[in-house]
Amino acid sequence: MAEEAAENGNETSGDGGDSGGVLKKWGPLAGIVCLVQAVLAWVLIQFVLKDNVPNQPSEQLIPETQEVVIRQGSDEASSNRLPFLYVTKELNSITANPAGTNAERFVVLDVQLGLEAYDHGENPKEDITGDLENRVELIDKISKYDLKIKSTIVKIMRAKTVDELDAGEIQRVVDEIRNILNTEIFDLLFVIDEENKIEIIIAEVNVSNLMIQ
C-alpha cells in the first residue's frame, strides 16, 4: 500500500510539472496574441467605424445667443425750453408752523410751479408747454384748485422740523412737495382718457422768500 501511494504521489507531481511547463512555453505567445488583437481593434475603430458616424453640423455645437438692445429712456423735460411758470396770489406768503415748535415758530415762503404739458392726441405725444400761456381753459382748470394746492403745501411744511427746513435740507422738502402735488392733484386732474388727451405735470417747484422765525 505504501508503495502504491508513493507511485500515485509521483504521478501527481509529474502532472504539475507538465502544467507548469506548458504555461512557461505558451504564456508569452498568448500575451502577444492579446496585444495584436488590441491593436487591430484600435485600427478598426479609428479607420473603419469613424466613417460610419454621422457628423453633427458645427453650428449646432454653438449655443444660441440672443441680441439684447438696451435703450436709455429720455427725460420728458426738453432741454430746449423752460417750463411754464404758474404764479398765483394764493401761493404767495404761505405760512406754517414747523413740527416740534409748539406753534412758537413759523415759516413763510412763496411758491411757483413749473409746469409741462403734453398732447397725447398726437403720436408721438406733442410737447405743448410753450403754448400753455394761450390755453386759458387749462390754466383756469388748475386755478380752481389753488386753495387745495396751498393746503397740501402747508400740510407738508407743518410736518417738517426747523432742521429739515434748513438751507441744506430744503431741496428734499421741495421734491416732496412736487411729488405729492403731482400724485394727489395733477394726476387726477388730467387723467388721459377718451375725452381728455392733455397731460399737465409739475416739473419743478420754485421756493422763494423763505423765512423761518
Our count of domains for the chain comes to 2
Quick one: pLDDT at residue 44? 62
Quick one: pLDDT at residue 61? 40
What pLDDT tens digit does each residue of the chain (213 aa) get? Answer: 444 544 445 444 445 555 555 555 656 666 676 666 766 766 666 665 555 555 554 444 433 332 222 222 234 445 688 999 999 999 999 999 999 999 899 999 999 999 999 999 989 999 999 999 999 999 999 999 999 999 999 999 999 999 999 888 899 999 999 999 999 999 999 999 999 999 999 999 999 999 999
Quick one: pLDDT at residue 135? 96
Alpha-carbon distance of 173 to 179, in angstroms, equals: 10
In a domain, 122, yes or no: yes
In a domain, 69, yes or no: no
Quick one: pLDDT at residue 155? 97
In a domain, 72, yes or no: no
Alpha-carbon distance of 18 to 10, in angstroms, equals: 12
The reported pTM is 0.63
CA distance between the termini of the chain = 139
What is the span of the domain harbouring residue 53? 2-58
| Residue 15 sits in the same domain as residue 115 | no
| Residue 116 sits in the same domain as residue 193 | yes
| Residue 124 sits in the same domain as residue 205 | yes
In a domain, 121, yes or no: yes
Residue with cell 507531481: 13
| Residue 51 sits in the same domain as residue 102 | no
| Residue 119 sits in the same domain as residue 199 | yes
In a domain, 125, yes or no: yes
In a domain, 101, yes or no: yes
Here the cell at position 85 is 411758470
| Residue 105 sits in the same domain as residue 205 | yes
